[in-house]
Homo-oligomer: A and B are copies of this chain.
């Protein structure tokens, strides 16, 4: 799945609810999901870790949708290697 497909999927599935919820509540949900991911990394199963990674990614895509930002465009800053030093591998 590419990032554009993911954003479209999130818009179809959660777009209306996201818009009604608003940005601060979406940031709060994202933070909650990051907490669940942190716990899964520490003591979860591989399946729980995968689920929580997906949930954080889903909330990140929903947030990008609300901001009207294309994740693919945004992540292009990493396409040429480290955005700070330009290195692949990073030599910062």
Tell me whether A54 and B71 are in contact in the complex, defined as CB-CB below 8 angstroms, given that A13-B88, A16-B89, A60-B60 are known contacts: yes
Q: Are A51 and B23 in contact (CB under 8 A)?
A: no
The one of B53, B54, B63, B67 in contact with A63, judged by C-beta atoms closer than 8 angstroms, is B53
> What total of chain A residues lie within 8 Å of the partner, measured CB to CB?
51
Q: Are B75 and A12 in contact (CB under 8 A)?
A: no
**Min distance, Cβ A51 to any Cβ of chain B, angstroms:** 7
Give the contacts of A5-51 with B (CB-CB under 8 A). Answer: 6, 9-10, 12-17, 23-24, 27, 30-31, 34, 37-38, 41-42, 46, 49-51
Q: Are B56 and A60 in contact (CB under 8 A)?
A: yes
Which residues does chain B contribute within 8 Å of A72, judged by CB atoms?
1
List 16 additional A-B contacts (Cβ < 8 Å) besides A12-B81, A41-B67, A53-B64. Answer: A1-B75, A13-B89, A16-B89, A17-B89, A17-B90, A24-B42, A27-B41, A50-B69, A51-B74, A53-B69, A53-B74, A54-B77, A54-B78, A56-B60, A57-B57, A60-B60
